[in-house]
Amino acid sequence: MAQPQPAYRPVVQETADRGRSVDQLAREQAMTEAAETLLNIEQAIHRADRARRSIPSGGAEHNLHVALAAAVTDLEAARKRLFESAYFGGDQQRIL
């Protein structure tokens, strides 16, 4: 006869009674999302730069080479804005 399985209980529960408020938990989640977004942007920069370097600049794919170079520049600017706003933005709203 099969024994009933106990109900699932997470080992660590994220609750305010563990010393962190609901606002602190929300901020931590937001910062985690920002960090993951920065990682994705960083990976996109490396991939676009690798693709740009693999294409000869004077060949038939010149427009693609230029577009990839512009994408790297734009992604680097986006990374810088997000990084500065997420980690050095303070509590004030900023107009970018």
The answer as to whether 94 is a domain residue is no
Between CA 37 and CA 32 the distance in angstroms is: 9
**SS3 of 10, please?**
coil
The answer as to whether 92 is a domain residue is no
Residue 65 DSSP label: H
- Of residues 53 and 3, more confidence is placed in 53
The answer as to whether 74 is a domain residue is yes
Quick one: pLDDT at residue 66? 92
pLDDT in tens, 24-43: 888 889 889 999 999 999 99
The answer as to whether 18 is a domain residue is no
The answer as to whether 67 is a domain residue is yes
The answer as to whether 61 is a domain residue is yes
How many domains would you assign to the chain?
1
Asked if 86 and 37 touch (Cβ cutoff 8 Å), the reply is: no
Between CA 56 and CA 53 the distance in angstroms is: 7
Domain residues for the domain of 36 are: 24-87
